Amino acid sequence: MSDWFGIYSIDSAINAGLDLEMPGTNKWRTLDLMNRSIQSRKIMARTVKERARKVVELVVKCAQGAPGILDGDGEERTSDDPQQRVLMRTLAAESIVLLKNTSALLPLNPAQLQGKRVVVVGGNAKAAVLSGGGSASLKPSYFSSAWDGLVAGLGEGVEVVYCEGAAAYMTKPSLDHEMLTFTGERGWLAAWHAHTSEDSMEPLSEALKTQVVDETRMFIGTSIPAGITRRWTMKLTGQLKPRDHERLFEFGMAVAGRAKLWVDDKLIIDNWTVQRRGEEFFNSASTEAVGRCTIKANHSPKIYVEFCNVRSPAPADGDNDETVMDTNPGLRLGGAEVLDEDAEMAKAVELAKSADVVVAVVGLNADWETEGYDRTTLALPRRTDELVSKVAAANPRTVVVTQSGSSIVMPWADEVGTIVHSWYLGNATGEAIADVLLGKKNPSGKLSLSFPKRMEDLPSHGHFGQENGKVRYGEDLFVGYKHYVHRGIPTLFPFGHGLSYTTFEYSGLEISAPKIANNNIEVTASVTVKNTGSLVGSNVVQLYISMPAASHLTHPPIMLKTFVKVRDLAPGKSEKVALRLDKYAVSYWEERIERWSVDAGEYTVRVGSSSEQLPLVGSFKIGKGFEWNGL
């Protein structure tokens, strides 16, 4: 199966064994092009049948495992039960990483905060940040923000106050939970209209299909009604939830197609007449067009969008093409209240001064981290770094909770005593963050990547980007922690790092003699882990290998080969764990002979809590090397 729009040929893909072109509406594998390829002897009919047979076999296999695929009504439904919620909350909490707690501010004790004030700041505190963008972004059955989790966890006796301080969005935030139909349902009403002819731009007055849509970022291609004309129009109507104050509101709309937005019958955005090309919807959409209007207090403004699946010309980009978006039409409408950035920052700082504890929830979101897009910086969005620095200076009892799926830099790290990294935690985001911050869960997560001190320290920094369509992977084997260890570059937080509210001690490394038979190897390293703190905790023991020094090839200085998690170890208790190695731990790919190779020699074993904390060292020897093929 190809990636979405990942096919660039007919014969090469067919002959190489690619069974299915995605996203399902063929661009290359049309009946006409396939027949011409067969007639010109670029492909054979039997090869096409083999590819088709594989697709049918997949359909049969899926249907046997989930009969509803064929027998169901095709309606999308949500599965949501208490057991699933408990599991999601547990998994989310276990993945959270305590990066720093030098001030021992965490865990917070709700009982000791009764009658006191907790101030929550940051663009991610109330936002629905549960995943990255693109294919990772799904509609959740429910969502708990960091604000929701903290308010519920702290209880009624604690005053919890919020101020955003600095916005974190790139494009205007989704209005998924702000939009209502005129009958009070969540969402807005979509009506599809065919046009008077296949090539006409004039829609018929009668709708071919209507349905309530509960999101304002829409991949429309999966819901286009059968029998509609090649060019068509979709009309969306709804209303925004009222707010208790008058506000200047800014809307943003990006489209793979063309559209206009009216608010209370006034045209606010024209992304129809002329566009600029953008990166939304797999680089097929316009940039975000914006418009502002004033919304009165306690008023629900009427929202009306008219969308057509034909792109508008973009003369400023040298593109006057008016393509019919028959495979990937899309629309995203967002919006946010317009705030004075300086005043909002000052308000957050003043609130921080008055707080007994400050929790800053900051980071990235699906705008900044998504597929088909490279981040241009490791910095946090907009004025977020400034916010953290100023709030921490105003109140040393500040906890910073960061969210991202990749590395970020923290120029304020030395100014803050407590930092927690929470990734993208899914539905139970806020509940999990509160569980860790309030001590219901002892953090045990570890970093699955390195956080550098600055972007210039990245392995790819010197050759990042492309020239003439070519990307050079100059870091070769020295990716991630291997680069930092090899170059002796200190990280901000190393790969594998993660603290706990308790402490652990490693001792007694024992390594068995290798057992080699049938092109395989078995080695076991044993380590004793002791909880030297005062709380029950879990810890991930990591084992790294260094290849023999006499190797004729260059290898990274250390390589993670296995790990094991010691769970719920009581204070003062010890547990002996076994870390098992096999041929994969000592093999490398020898490209000259196209085989996996295991060298004879002495292999160094290092065990510890991160790639930079490996106190236990031992070794084992392989007397005679060997080679092998396969997986």
Q: Give the span between the Cα atoms of 368 and 364, in whole angstroms.
A: 6
One-letter amino acid at 503 equals T
CA distance 582 to 585: 6
* DSSP one-letter string for 114-161: TT-EEEEESTTSSS---S-SGGG----S----HHHHHHHHH-TTSEEE
* pLDDT at residue 121 in the model: 99
User: Is pLDDT larger for residue 549 or for residue 561?
Assistant: 561
Decide if pLDDT at 13 tops 80.
yes
pLDDT score recorded for residue 597: 95
Instruction: Record the pTM.
Output: 0.91
Check: CB of residue 414 under 8 Å from CB of residue 121: no
Please indicate whether residue 71 or residue 387 has the higher confidence score (pLDDT).
387
Tokens at 388, concatenated = 């953290």
HSE-CB of 433 using CA atoms within 13 angstroms:
37
One-letter identity of residue 565: K
pLDDT tens-digit readout, 77-118:
788 899 999 999 999 999 999 999 998 999 999 999 999 999
Can you read off the two tokens belonging to residue 313?
Answer: 């010309």
82-167+340-443 and 179-337 share one CATH topology?
no
CA 479 to chain centre: 20
Q: Are 310 and 151 in contact (CB under 8 A)?
A: no
| pLDDT higher at 348 or 462 | 348
| Percent of the chain at pLDDT exceeding 90 | 84
Of the given ranges (78-87, 230-239, 560-569), which has the lowest mean pLDDT? 78-87
Confidence of residue 437 (pLDDT cuts 50, 70, 90): very high
CATH 3.30.70.100 fits 504-628, yes or no: no
One-character DSSP codes across 599-631: --EEEEEEEESBTTB--EEEEEEESS-EEE---
- Residues 485-507 have pLDDT tens digits of 999 999 999 999 999 999 999 99
Alpha carbon distance, N-terminus to C-terminus of the chain: 21
Contacts for 367 with CB less than 8 Å, ≥ 6 apart: 133, 169, 170, 171
Q: Does 23 sit behind a cis peptide bond, omega within 30 degrees of 0 on the bond before it? A: yes
Please state, in angstroms and rounded to a whole number, the distance separating the CA atoms of residues 513 and 521. 10
Q: How far is CA 591 from CA 389, 474, 597, in A?
A: 50, 18, 10
Write out the CATH class of domain 179-337: mainly beta
Q: How far is CA 96 from the centre of its chain?
A: 15
DSSP letters, 1-15, are -PPTT----SHHHHH
Residue 482 has pLDDT above 80, yes or no: yes
Handedness of CA 333, 335, 341, 347 (dihedral sign): negative
Residue 258 three-state SS? strand
Q: What is the mean pLDDT of the chain?
A: 94
Tokens standing for residue 355: 């707080």
Listed in sequence order, the DSSP H helices in 220-369 are: 280-283, 341-354
**One-letter identity of residue 291:** G
Residue with tokens 């594989």: 54
Domain boundaries, the chain: 11-71, 82-167+340-443, 179-337, 504-628
**What per-residue confidence (pLDDT) applies to 73?**
78
Task: Give the separation between CA 259 and CA 281, rounded to whole angstroms.
Answer: 15
Written as six digits, the tokens of 595 are: 């085989």
Only one residue has tokens 């705030």, namely 339
Query: Rounded to whole angstroms, how far apart are CA atoms 531 and 513?
Result: 29
Task: Give the residue among 378, 438, 398 at the shortest CA–CA distance from 146.
Answer: 438
Q: How far apart are CA 545 and CA 124, in angstroms?
A: 39
Q: Is 108 exposed, middle or buried (0-12, 13-18, 19+ CB in 10 A)?
A: buried
Residue 244 pLDDT greater than 80, yes or no: yes
pLDDT at 431 > cutoff 70: yes
Share of the chain above pLDDT 70, in %: 100
- Tally of CB atoms within 10 A around 155: 13
Q: What's the full length of the chain, in residues?
A: 631
pLDDT band at 471 (very low <50, low <70, confident <90, very high): confident
Choose among 508, 456, 505: nearest CA to 483: 456
pLDDT single digits (tens) 388-397:
999 999 999 9
Q: Which two tokens stand for residue 10?
A: 């007919």
* pLDDT band, residue 618 (cuts 50/70/90): very high
> pLDDT confidence of 25, banded at 50, 70, 90?
low
DSSP count for the chain of H helices, then E strands: 12, 30
Provide the 3-class DSSP secondary structure of residue 311: coil
Strands (E), 338-436: 357-363, 398-403, 418-421
Q: Among residues 504, 609, 498, 541, which one has the least CA distance to residue 97?
A: 498
Q: What is the pLDDT of residue 281?
A: 87
Closest CA to 153 of 126, 113, 125, 121: 113
Residues 6+ apart with CB under 8 A from 470: none
What is the pLDDT averaged over residues 474-489?
94
* Bond from prior residue into 110 cis (ω within 30 degrees of 0): no
Classified by CATH at the fold level, domain 82-167+340-443 comes out as: Rossmann fold (3.40.50)
Positions marked active-site: 3
